[in-house]
Amino acid sequence: MLDNFTPLNGNGPDLISQLLEPVIDPWLDREACYDSIHVPESYVGPRLSFPLSVSDTNALLSAFKEQQTLHARYVLQLLYETKKLLKQMPNIIHLSTSYTKEITICGDLHGRLDDLLLIFYKNGLPSAETPYVFNGDFVDRGKKSIEVVILLFAYLLLYPDYMHLNRGNHEDHIMNLRYGFTKEVMQKYKANGCEILQLFQDVFSFLPIATVIDGKVLIVHGGISDQTDLDFLSVIDRHKVKSALRLPRRSLEQLDIGRSNKQMKRMRSTDTSRSHSKNQRTPNMRRRCSRLSQQDSFASMSSSSSSSSSSSSSLCSPHPPLCFSPHPCPSSPNMPHNINILQVPFLDSATSIPPPLPPQNEQEWKQIVDILWSDPKTQEGCSPNTFRGGGCYFGPDVTRRLLLQHGLQLIIRSHECKQEGYELCHSGQVITIFSASNYYEEGSNRGAYIKLGRELVPRFYQYQVSRSTRKLTLTQRVRAAEGSALRALKEKVFAHRSDLIAGFQKCDQNNTGRVTVSEWAQVLGSVLKLDLPWRTLCSHLAHLAPDGCVDYQSCFEDMGARIQLPQVTPNLAETLFRYRTDIEIIFNIIDKDHSEFRHTWRLFSAHLGVDITNGAIDDLARSIDFNKDGSIDFTEFLEAFRVVHKLDNKDQPLKTSGE
């Protein structure tokens, strides 16, 4: 969708071009990008002077604690100076403990300013005596992403030898469209938001991708694969990879996606072997990525990963595993057996295209995808990370091989929320560190950071921002995380109601309204494409009859739409529930003033292959025009397609064991 988008007004580049084109406005590379912006006398926030001093960073800390916003002029100047500094840095930063007592390593922060301030309070502000490595994912999800990343960049400028930042998978402008940073910037900086986002896009692409301490400890955001080559990574042009979610642009142009899609559609339309096609969502070959809750993976509820095989990067498509080589992917009833295919993610869907030969720029891209997106697994080998839709699962043997090859002894990575804020695996050779406490829900997890001294023995420090949840037991924290995950899963069940009912009724030949637990689990797994322990989850999602069978209608009892919408076309409302987030992203991309409801819907319906008339769109619009002013505020639209948990008690405070 992003590559084939045409400006609807016909007047040339608009927000999508400004945000998604690889060419950054040359104006942003000059001091004029901030010099021309006037700071009014009425502005009461911090006034920065460059080069930054300790008084400037102290002023930022005080201002952000008081909920103040840094003026756009200083944001642009800070980004401009940060970009100049980052351009001089290597892809892999090498540090030594011989010059300092200890180095502190922090994981994902995701816009949690309170967590960052607590780390600084407990461990000390960045300085020569207290050097830091922040291991990516500074932004998205949290409400204070701009404040977090400004503080990190400010300390990087103040102490470039003692403050170190690795790139994470969320330092990516397409991820920012989905997970909140873009929206936050546009809300806080309405006048200069586009320029700020463009400069952030460029700055993120210049962030180093790894750090090595004493030649023995490798720090990367996600992980590694069996194809990871640190020597190759150290010499690539990291700046070319603006987004790990998209193939290099030249490859996309060579592939001619539009023509490939037409060919695939024609071949599929003549495939008479698909007796199940009428139960599928759409004739287009697009699948939802399996992304739930507030994390990129639903790993806490998934079962063991697929059997090991040699593979590096993969992209969005839960089943079957994907190929980044000229070899055919495993056959699927949805695809012709004699065509090699590649799943390319666009927003939360996937487009099928023939795979290219891997030119240099694509090899570089795949190496970075693996570093930013991969996760460790307990099984040997390396397999596509089909659950996240990018990177791979790497086993203990892959870890041992890379450590031996480069003379390393430990990998520190982040990328996954852990109950205690950290976790060891692969016989202690891989450590996950996660620094955003209360990530899923209040009280769901602790945050942590690591301190490494000259002996390179990691010491872990845990914390939790909220006093009311600090004393929760492990069981209570697990329940908080599970509750959030179950709510996300129930929403996904509700959004696929028609397909699920059709699957249940196939098993229920006598129309009893009940199926066996085994049949229920099989239908859920096949429709939702999620590899979860469905039998274990059954009691959380449905009611069991006295005979042990599942009342499958009960799966949908405690959920409903916020309002009842007219059925203007079959399953339209359900489709919109399912792709509500995609609609929001598209709308924010193409419609800065939220006036183009019909154009937004046309682009979205064309992507899904949903045939709907202008009259039907108007009927839909009238039903969600709550204030009857003749126009649709996009907030109204989103609220209309919000799933309501009728029995949800998430607003009630969590009780501690003493209550």
Could you list the active site residues? 170
Using a CB cutoff of 8 Å and minimum separation of 24, what contacts does 318-324 make? Answer: 318/287, 318/289, 318/290, 318/386, 318/387, 318/389, 318/529, 318/530, 318/531, 319/386, 319/529, 320/386, 321/383, 321/384, 321/386, 322/384, 322/386, 323/355, 324/355, 324/358, 324/366
> CB neighbours of 499 closer than 8 A, spacing ≥ 6?
279, 280, 281, 527
Task: Please identify which residue in the block is written with the tokens 């030594």.
Answer: 96
Name the DSSP class of 239.
G
Q: How far apart are CA 117 and CA 479, in angstroms?
A: 27
- How many residues make up the chain in this entry? 659
* 3-state secondary structure (DSSP) of residue 163: strand
Query: Cα dihedral angle (89, 91, 97, 102), rounded to 10 degrees?
Result: 90
Q: How far apart are CA 133 and CA 152, in angstroms?
A: 10
Beta bridge partners of 346: 349
Instruction: Count the helices and strands in the chain (H runs, E runs).
Output: 23, 21
- Helix 145-158 crosses helix 72-87 at what angle (to 10 degrees)? 50
Beta bridge partners of 351: 344
Q: Provide the residue type at 80 as one letter.
A: Y
Q: How far apart are CA 214 and CA 62, in angstroms?
A: 35
Closest listed residue to residue 633, CA positions, set 583, 581, 580, 593: 593
Q: How far apart are CA 518 and CA 528, in angstroms?
A: 16
Closest listed residue to residue 281, CA positions, set 641, 610, 526: 610
Instruction: Report whether 244 contacts 172 (CB < 8 A).
Output: yes
Query: Cα dihedral angle (628, 634, 635, 641), rounded to 10 degrees?
Result: 90
Instruction: Report whether 243 contacts 346 (CB < 8 A).
Output: no
Instruction: Report whether 106 contacts 433 (CB < 8 A).
Output: yes
Q: How far apart are CA 344 and CA 353, in angstroms?
A: 7
Closest listed residue to residue 371, CA positions, set 203, 233, 243: 233
Question: Strand 550-551 to strand 514-515: parallel, antiparallel, or no bridges (unpaired)?
Answer: antiparallel
Q: How far apart are CA 69 and CA 377, in angstroms?
A: 42
Closest listed residue to residue 319, CA positions, set 384, 416, 392, 394: 384
Instruction: Report whether 444 contacts 481 (CB < 8 A).
Output: yes
